Amino acid sequence: MIHYFLAFFFPAMIAVMQPKNRPWNSAVAWSVVWMLYTLFIGLRDEVGADWYNYLYMFERQAYYMTYSEALHHGDPAYWLLQVWVSRMGWDVHMVNLIGAAIFMYGVVRFIRQLNNPWLGMVIIMAYTGLAVAMGYVRQGIALGIILWALAVLNEGRFIRFLLLVSFAVMFHKSAVIIAGMGMFQHGKNRYLKFLAGAFILIGVYEAFVAGREEHYINEYVKSGMSSSGALIRILMNLIPAMFFFYFRKEWKRVYPTSYQMWYMMSIGSVIAMGLVWFASTAVDRISLYFIPLQVVVWTRMPVLMDRIIPYWLTTDLILIYYASVYIVFLKFAKWSFAWFPYKNILLTWFGLQ
């Protein structure tokens, strides 16, 4: 339990001390954070609800694949990564380590643009780093790339954003939804952006999705496939969406360049709540890409609410909320037992476990 305690409360303590108008954003410090959390997530051993499923994919399927077969497999980038790792003579831990490095790079790129990046790190670790990056490996990688893409989009580099989203789609096709959100970002040449996005995404769709629609409908909708905890996870997106709508005028005044995309993502969170009753697994997996909304809204709320509630108090309330989420997941979630005991091959090598 001590490992999970340190992973959460280390950034939480720094978030509490973070000055209001001067983010602690040292490149050296965040490089160390990237490395430590990459090792924490990537070198875990027999940790996570889908650990043995991914181990089976690597040892029983990817090991016998050619690169050509991997390229034509669903989520081809992940299968190509597995085949390459197996050809190099490494095991599944290397796949996870590379995936964790990509995920954490996206996280660090994204949260360093926030006014309280350490609070953003807390929000990420409370659920996303724990359950997604350490559980749904493919979607964890895709989400990390999406966070990277959103950071790039915030810098006004739309074409690079689209390329990164396309790369994320190669790890998990559901990531395609974020491209549509990005098209609503405020800026020049919006029609050109839309056209460029349409061509890139049509190409991605035709190459890796077309012809498989019936399979997805049968798997996620007609079968009634349900996802444990989907309603709670979607509520976690819906609540910040409601705060966004309530403070939308102030948001538009203070953060005008990013208003449209977060507005569309908030709309998506509301729609997801309506659809979760019919296809919880499909909606749940798509809603994972709305998690950045939580990070952005909650890190900006202390600023937007400063006239009503002191900055420090809002920050503390958000930290308490996410500490509760973290503890509830580890103690009471249906699959929380799969995260215990925490084992890490690096700690084993050094005799610390």
Q: Is 285 or 48 the better-scoring residue by pLDDT?
A: 48
Q: What is the mean pLDDT of residues 284-307?
A: 92
Q: What is the mean pLDDT of residues 253-264?
A: 85
Amino acid 207: pLDDT: 45
Cα(342)–Cα(168) distance, integer angstroms: 28
Q: Quick check: 252 and 263 in contact, CB under 8 A? A: no
| SS3 call for 197 | helix
Q: What is the mean pLDDT of residues 249-258?
A: 87
Quote the crossing angle between the two packed helices 259-275 and 291-304, to the nearest 10°: 120
Mean pLDDT is lowest, of 100-114, 177-191, 339-353, for 177-191
| Per-residue pLDDT at 346 exceeds 90 | yes
Residue 55 pLDDT level (bands cut at 50, 70, 90): very high
Domain contains 192: yes
Amino acid 103: pLDDT: 98
Domain contains 102: yes
Count: domains in the chain: 1
Threshold 0.85, pTM exceeds: yes
Residues 6 or more apart whose CB falls under 8 angstroms from that of 173 comprise 74, 75, 208, 209
Neighbours of 352 (CB within 10 A): 8
| Per-residue pLDDT at 218 exceeds 70 | no
Amino acid 213: pLDDT: 52
Amino acid 183: pLDDT: 72
Domain contains 214: no
| Per-residue pLDDT at 225 exceeds 50 | no
Q: Is 278 or 321 the better-scoring residue by pLDDT?
A: 321
Residue 201 pLDDT level (bands cut at 50, 70, 90): low
Widest Cα–Cα separation across the chain:
61
Amino acid 224: pLDDT: 46
Amino acid 223: pLDDT: 45
Q: Is 276 or 54 the better-scoring residue by pLDDT?
A: 54
Q: What is the mean pLDDT of residues 243-271?
A: 89
Mean pLDDT is lowest, of 36-50, 90-104, 145-159, 217-231, for 217-231
Domain contains 304: yes
| Per-residue pLDDT at 253 exceeds 60 | yes
Amino acid 228: pLDDT: 57
Mean pLDDT of the chain: 87
Residue 258 pLDDT level (bands cut at 50, 70, 90): confident
Amino acid 124: pLDDT: 97
Q: What is the mean pLDDT of residues 87-108?
A: 97
| SS3 call for 44 | strand
Provide the H-helix boundaries in the chain.
2-17, 27-42, 51-56, 67-71, 76-87, 92-111, 117-123, 137-154, 158-171, 177-182, 190-208, 213-217, 230-246, 248-254, 259-275, 280-287, 291-304, 311-332, 345-349
Q: What is the mean pLDDT of residues 19-39?
A: 90
Amino acid 285: pLDDT: 78
Residue pLDDT, tens place only, 109-144: 999 999 899 999 999 999 999 999 999 899 999 999
Q: What is the mean pLDDT of residues 251-265?
A: 86
Amino acid 230: pLDDT: 82
Taken in order 257, 261, 262, 263, the sign of the CA dihedral is positive
Domain contains 235: yes
Provide, rounded to the nearest whole percent, the portion of the chain with pLDDT above 70: 87
Domain ranges, residue 187: 2-209+219-349
Amino acid 193: pLDDT: 62
| Per-residue pLDDT at 324 exceeds 80 | yes
| Per-residue pLDDT at 222 exceeds 50 | no
